[in-house]
Structures are given as structure tokens and as C-alpha cells.
Structure 1
Amino acid sequence: MRDIDLKTLRLLVAVCDHRNIARAAEEAHIEPSAISKRIAQLESDLGVPLLSRSRRGVEPTAAGIALLEHARNVLFTMERIASDVAAFGGGLKGRVSVCASASAIAEALLDDIASFMRAPAHQNIRVDVEERLSLELVRQLREGAASVGVCWDNVDLQGLAHRPYRQDRLALAVHADHPLAAEASVSFEQALAHEHVGLPPATAVHTMLQRAAARVGKTVSYRVIVSSFDAAFRVVAAGLGISVVPVEVAETYRPVLGIRVVPLTDAWAERRFVVCFRDFDALQPAAQRMVEHLVERAARAAPA
């Protein structure tokens, strides 16, 4: 099969968007017959019809819809490649892809990235941030789908290089009328006597809590499973359970929702995060600078 050229893909996308070959041709400043010829050749090369033609215009076939999705991704990637590579023509530029755990994003990471991007020397650096489960984060870094990751240091990094980042401490978020609300601090074992609001089983914190409960011969009783800390706090505020959450995140919701935040006394409740990557020397200069900035900013914020 011949290689599929980008212009044909771009024209196919335009035809599908307009549902009309003539309008796509007008937009591309070429003759409709030229588009028809290119798409006919592509259909011949692939061995399947891509468009269904009628008096009202054209519609992608099932095969056309599948190709259209890939075509959009390919064109977007090519535009990114051109933009990122061209950016190296003048100063420190580029794009840094960051994937991070929910805890890291909910706490200080976005503020740290904003601080990085506000620096005059970094004004031409673009940053993509995606939330990922820790295991998926590690996989993306190992496969080269992301440049930099931020997650809890208890995760199996599978050989990734890493540097220390920030710390946090876990606590219980409880309703103001809950029996534990008046406590100055509690152990996780005490909390196991009550119903919990938790994050999905695939998250690192869910696994950690299950293991902590098993060590004392108990299990966590989940009344509600939610997908985010925001949802967890709102369920707690509704009086439907208690939730293990980072103190740094809880302090944002405490005055708004009227909940209580009770520190956990367990040693494992103090967590450390890391900035991880495959190979620092192999990172683009912009990504190297990002790693250095995150580590330095965290070090300045660390308690003496």
C-alpha cells in the first residue's frame, strides 16, 4: 500500500466537516475534481469506501469514520511537531507534557507550574497537564507519551529517575456533627469503625488504605466511591461518611462546606511526592528547566 500523504488526510477531514466536496475544495483553493481523485485513490489503496455520496452531499462510511479519527490525531500531532521543533529557532521554547496524580494536581502542582510559566525566560514554553492514575502515569513516562510525572514516592516507578518534590499529610474529613469531629487527632484504626467515602480502587491512596486496614486485621467500609476529592468533600458535607484526604486540599473546602479536618496520627499519613522522568539528560531543555523549577520551588517551601 502507498504511504498516505498528509494533504489527502487534510482534504478528507475538510470534506467530512463540510459534508460537501465543493465547499471543501473552495476552502482549500483547489478543484473539486482534484479532491475526488485523491479520495478515490485513497479508497483504492485501502480497499474500502470512505465516503457515501448522495444528492445532499457526502457522509463518511464506518471505515471513513475510523480513518477520520486517526486523521485528526495525525494532523494535530504533525502541527505540534512543526510548532515544537520550529520553536527551538529562538531561545528556550518548546512544549512540556506533564502527567500527575490527583493529589499532586489538587495541591500545589498547578501553582508551581503557573509560577514556572510566568517567568519571563519561560514565556514561550507551552505546558500540557493531564491527571493520571499513578500506574498509568509510570507507563506513559516509560513509553515516552509524557515528559515529566509527579506522583507519590510509594509508587513502583519501574526504574524511572526521580527527584524529591513536596510533602503532604493525610487527615480525616468529617461532618461537623460526626463523633470524630471533636477529636484533636485520630488513628486510622479508630476511623475504621465508621463508613468511608473513597476514591476508586485503582488509585494509589485506595490501595494504601486497604493495606493499612489489613495490617490491623480490619477492612475499610466504603459507603460511597467517588472520582475526585471535590466529590468526596461534598459527600462528607452531606453527612454520608468520612474520607481520608490531604490536609492541604481539605483546608480549601473546610471553611466553604463547614466540615472538620482531623489529622491522622499514623506514620504513613505523611506522604512524599517525586518528580519523575526517564532520563534527565534526554529531556528537552524546556522539560529540564521544568523539573529544576519544581524541585527548587518545593525545596524553598519545605519546613526548615
Structure 2
Amino acid sequence: MLPKSLVRRLDLITLQLFVAVHEEGTLTRAAAREAIAVSAASKRLMELEQVLGMSLFVRKAKGMSLTAAGETLLHHGRQMLFNVEKMGQELGEHSHGLRGYVRMLANLSAIIQFLPEDLRDFSALHPQVKTDLEERPSKGVVQGVLDGVADLGICSCDTDTKGLPSVTYRRDKLVVLMPADHPLRGREQLAFAETLGSDYVGLHSASSINMRTHAAAREAGKLLHLRIHVPGFDAMCRMVQANMGIGILPQKAYELFGRSLGLHAVPLTDEWADRRLIVVVRDEARLSPVSRLLFEYLQEPEVGV
């Protein structure tokens, strides 16, 4: 059994040396790479094995190879060294005037429609805050915030937030995307059930729009004739242009990608087509100062309404 004080008895230099021995194959080459005398390097490895109470290497005439225990330490050791290096980079940014770092997840609709301008304006107000933004489907946004992968997340309000605190971010309107010569082209608005006789181009299966349209088709007692899944709104527009079917997307996404392709959009009358995007956090009281700054900015009246 390993000692409880293991964290106090491991040091990063020895851990880095251990990784170097594995990568170089010999103690001599590893010591040279780490600028340590061979005798000192050998002593460090022996002390590491004594602390762990197990052998990490099989010593051979032509080099050293890892034991099963060594493989385990290699996996965790590399992750530890990576995290330390990343921590150093982020701390170093403070010396260049960056005072904070916000990790953020958002669904495709938020990233395409609203976040570019909102984050631009936020950065203009707070140039010393850095934002790391990653796209995930709404369900993945919630799980990522729960897992601590991100400080903030933006998802559709019909997503199960699993009890996470949330506030309204933006609202959008879903429309039916179709070629200019489609039979439904002349309608001013449509109920989703009226479109189910057409083939569909759908977003990826984890997207909230895809899940909602499938649910709406089931509620209407009809099938959704899905010809193809695509990863984003731009790809949907191209597939619709190629007569692969019609699609459902937000009005603003149509204006960004579909209008220039000569496509047409008709608003949906269904209640679920008027959507609300929300910002979720794991624990509002425990947000860092810069995360709280962005959280509050994204719910300001001129941004969040």
C-alpha cells in the first residue's frame, strides 16, 4: 500500500527524469537531456522506486523498459507534467496583463448567432480576460459544466439542466429552410407537421434541434424522413441547396448562410420553435471573479433579452 504522504515525497524533477528515461531508453541519454549527472539521475530513480515500493523499469544490457507499474506512473506522470506546464502558461499571462481565464461551453446556435459579437464586446470592455470557448451539443454543455470542464455553459432551455442554476441568455426563432422552388415556398408560416411529407436534412443526432424535431414528428404521429445528418448550419444550407431535402435552423443562421445561396425560409408556428437559450453554471456563489463578470454580462438586458 502506498504511503499517504506520497504527494509530499514526489518531486517534478524526478518525475520529468522518469519520463525522459522511458523516452530515451537509457539513463545516460535521459540524464544528458535533463542536464543531470548520471549518478544523480540514478539516485533519483532509486529513491522514486523506494518511495513507491516497486520497480518501475526492467534494466537490460541495451536499455531500460517500463514495468506494468511504470506504465501506470507514465500515464499519470505525463498528465501531471502537462497540467503544471499549462498552469505555468496561464499564470505567466498575468505578468502580461491578462488577469483572468474563463472556460466556456456553448451549443452551435449560440456560437453561430450571438457569441461572436457578445464576446467581442466583452473583450473590448475587459481586454485582460481570456476566454476558452468550445462547441458542444446542449446536453454535452450541461454535462461539461457538471464535470467542471467549464465555468459557464450556454444551451437550449429545453435541455435537462440537472439542477444547474441558469439565466436567460438570448431567444431565437426556428424556421424551415428550403430551395426557392419548393412547393411550400409561398407560405408565410408553417406548422412543423405540414412539412413531414418532405425529405429532411438534419443536424447531428446529439443536437437539441434534431432531438426536438424527432419528438415533434412522434407527437404528430408521423415519420421524419431524414436523408442525411450534417455537422452544422452551413453544411445544412449546402445540402438543401443540392436538393437533399429541407431543414430546420434558427432565423439568424439562415440569414448568415442560407440567404446568399438563394434559399428560402418560412417561420414555424409551433410553440417549441420560439426558443430560449440559457447560461448555466455549477455554483454561482463559487464562480471566479472573471467568470462572474462574464456570467453577469451575458444576462444584461441589452444582451440577454
Q: Give TM-score scaled by structure 2 length.
A: 0.82
Judge which range, 161-170 or 19-28, deviates more.
19-28
**CA distance, structure 1, for counterparts of residue 70 and residue 186 of structure 2:** 62
Query: Relative to structure 1, is the Cα distance of residues 279 and 301 closer, same or farther in structure 2, using a 3 angstrom cutoff?
Result: closer
Displacement after TM superposition at 1:180 (Å): 2.8
> Conserved in 1, the CA contact under 8 Å of 2:55 and 2:67?
no
Rg comparison, structure with higher value: 2
1:98 to 97, 101, 104: 104
Query: Relative to structure 1, is the Cα distance of residues 178 and 115 closer, same or farther in structure 2, using a 3 angstrom cutoff?
Result: same
Unaligned runs of 5+ in 2: none
Alignment of 1:70-109 (within 5 A): 70-82=76-88, 93-109=99-115
Judge which range, 17-26 or 7-16, deviates more.
17-26
What residue number does 1:300 align with? 302
2:123 to 117, 128, 136: 117
Q: Give TM-score scaled by structure 1 length.
A: 0.82
Tell me the amino acid that sits aligned with residue 99 of structure 1. L
1:30 to 36, 54, 57: 36
2:179 to 175, 178, 181: 175
Displacement after TM superposition at 1:219 (Å): 2.3
**CA distance, structure 2, for counterparts of residue 20 and residue 76 of structure 1:** 23
1:258 to 258, 262, 266: 262
Query: Relative to structure 1, is the Cα distance of residues 13 and 301 closer, same or farther in structure 2, using a 3 angstrom cutoff?
Result: same
Tell me the amino acid that sits aligned with residue 302 of structure 2. R
1:6 to 12, 32, 41: 12
What residue number does 1:131 align with? 135
Displacement after TM superposition at 1:153 (Å): 1.3
**CA distance, structure 2, for counterparts of residue 103 and residue 20 of structure 1:** 52
What residue number does 1:189 align with? 193
**CA distance, structure 1, for counterparts of residue 165 and residue 244 of structure 2:** 41
Query: Relative to structure 1, is the Cα distance of residues 201 and 63 closer, same or farther in structure 2, using a 3 angstrom cutoff?
Result: farther
**CA distance, structure 2, for counterparts of residue 203 and residue 133 of structure 1:** 5
2:227 equivalent to 1:223: yes
Judge which range, 164-173 or 101-110, deviates more.
101-110
Give the count of matched residue pairs: 298
**CA distance, structure 2, for counterparts of residue 175 and residue 10 of structure 1:** 59
Judge which range, 259-268 or 11-20, deviates more.
11-20
> Conserved in 1, the CA contact under 8 Å of 2:203 and 2:210?
yes
Displacement after TM superposition at 1:96 (Å): 0.9
Displacement after TM superposition at 1:234 (Å): 2.4
Partner SS state of residue 244, structure 1: strand
2:201 equivalent to 1:208: no
Unaligned runs of 5+ in 1: none
What residue number does 1:198 align with? 202
Partner SS state of residue 299, structure 2: helix
Query: Relative to structure 1, is the Cα distance of residues 59 and 132 closer, same or farther in structure 2, using a 3 angstrom cutoff?
Result: farther
Displacement after TM superposition at 1:36 (Å): 4.7
2:145 equivalent to 1:141: yes
CA offsets, 1:22-65, max 9 Å, x none? 5543443212444455446556737465688785x777788766
2:155 equivalent to 1:151: yes
**CA distance, structure 2, for counterparts of residue 24 and residue 258 of structure 1:** 62
> Conserved in 1, the CA contact under 8 Å of 2:102 and 2:151?
yes
What residue number does 1:164 align with? 168
> Conserved in 2, the CA contact under 8 Å of 1:102 and 1:133?
yes
Judge which range, 17-26 or 145-154, deviates more.
17-26
**CA distance, structure 2, for counterparts of residue 218 and residue 270 of structure 1:** 22
Displacement after TM superposition at 1:128 (Å): 1.3
**CA distance, structure 2, for counterparts of residue 241 and residue 59 of structure 1:** 57
Tell me the amino acid that sits aligned with residue 239 of structure 1. N
Judge which range, 211-220 or 16-25, deviates more.
16-25
